[in-house]
Structure 1
């Protein structure tokens, strides 16, 4: 970067699990430009049926910086911050247009659906509900927060329609 002028850009900052709000507030206290996109979802708790605000991208916040050494260290020293996302050459900037689009999406009351959670063929486990403990292969999204999971038994497949919130992807090593 010798001779290059530092330019401000948006970067994705990986956080500790469930530390998005802590990191967001810590960076705001340091007067840094930070963005934590949140969406409204129905609470997963059985005893409550209320709407709550959760991060659109769990484990990440966006921060605008020119990556000068002082500011870079201040970002990483923030409680709950892990690292700026990038390659071996360093943090990779995110286009301003992408951040602007995210800001528009989360500012509306419309439902925001994230579709990268499961891919067809992913090994998944049902973690709650009547099929809790069942492992299978993700088949498809059905709409209204429902997914189809194929379960193999005795050389045949059976499919169950379950709530997407009740399903988690299994790590590759357990597949």
Structure 2
């Protein structure tokens, strides 16, 4: 077989689509095979059996990044790896992801240890601490990294209240 035009000399990042809920398994198996894999995750608060727990979730469910230097020769063992569905392509050509994108994702704080909960504007939250404990509010926006503005009904009127992000959980 001759040289394929998909092969490259310098390694590039590509995107792997994983089977449902198997991105952690795919990342583990690919790493064990010696591939360089980047699987961005975040720590999130979730209610499990009525208790608030920290869980690690993929930043991009069903996807991870893999660094390859020769896509054609390296693809055969990858596609038979547990948890891997396919390599993302445009037409028949694998899509290379710019190194700068992966570098930016690696630099984001959601890859650090610790608890990070992400709220969206309009999302219902429960206040877990302070004088408004156990009351439900609507998340409006972040104010810096540690503070949030929520809309809370106080005395039959909606009021904007500033609280610590750590005192909120998704309802």
Fold shared per TM-score above 0.5? yes
Which runs of 5 or more structure 2 residues have no equivalent in the other structure?
Answer: 121-138, 143-169
CA contact (8 A) 1:12 1:85 kept: yes
For the residue of structure 1 that corresponds to 2:100, the secondary structure is helix
Q: Aligned-pair RMSD on alpha carbons?
A: 3.7
After superposition, residues 1-175 of structure 1 pair within 5 angstroms as 1-2=4-5, 5-105=8-108, 106-107=111-112, 109=114, 111=116, 113=118, 142-143=140-141
> 1:95-149: CA deviations, max 9, x gaps?
111111111112365847597xxxxxxxxxxxxxxxxxxxxxxxxx8447xxxxx
Shift of residue 51 of structure 1? 1.1
Partners of 1:2 and 1:97 in 2: CA distance: 23
Which structure has more relative contact order (CA 8 Å, sep 6+)? It is 2
Name the structure with the higher strand share.
Answer: 2
Partners of 1:24 and 1:3 in 2: CA distance: 23
For the residue of structure 1 that corresponds to 2:96, the secondary structure is coil
CA contact (8 A) 1:40 1:54 kept: yes
Alignment TM-score, normalising by the size of structure 1? 0.60
Give the number of equivalent residue pairs.
Answer: 132
CA contact (8 A) 1:6 1:68 kept: no
For the residue of structure 1 that corresponds to 2:97, the secondary structure is coil
Partners of 1:4 and 1:50 in 2: CA distance: 45
Which runs of 5 or more structure 1 residues have no equivalent in the other structure?
Answer: 116-140, 145-164, 167-175
